[in-house]
Amino acid sequence: MATIKLRKWDSVEHLKTDDDMVLYLEACLEEAGNDAAFIAKALGTIARAKGMTQLAKDTGLGRESLYKALSGEGNPSFATILKIMSALRIKLHAEMAHSI
């Protein structure tokens, strides 16, 4: 019987373009429901794809702080999320929900 080698899935490997990143975030927003940690982690995935060092410079936040805030375990403030989204050049916009 052949041995199958598995490796951990990392979405970062598939986020090559800005469009990929926006579509990924949109999909995560749809899946997350009210899970803010899920969204923070999705932003963390995008941040890793873009480069955490550059994001730290652009936001003025430390790399370790960013990793913690965007790990899904942290609890970043909304101001931090907005600062990160701005540095990633991702816009936040609103629309009416069709159902809750």
Q: What is the 3-state secondary structure (H, E, C) of the chain?
A: CCCCCCCCCCHHHHCCCHHHHHHHHHHHHHHHCCCHHHHHHHHHHHHHHHCHHHHHHHHCCCHHHHHHHCCCCCCCCHHHHHHHHHHCCCCCCCCCCCCC
pLDDT tens digits, 39-82: 999 999 999 999 999 999 999 999 999 999 999 898 999 999 99
Residue 40: predicted pLDDT: 94
What's the length of the chain? 100
Q: What is the pTM of this model?
A: 0.84
In this prediction, residue 95 has a pLDDT band, given cuts at 50, 70 and 90, of confident
Amino acid at 20: D
Which candidate, 8, 75, 4, 67, places its Cα nearest to that of 35?
Answer: 75
Q: Which two tokens stand for residue 36?
A: 């803010």
CB-based contact 62:97 (threshold 8 Å): no
pLDDT tens digits, 12-50: 999 999 999 999 999 999 999 889 999 999 999 999 999
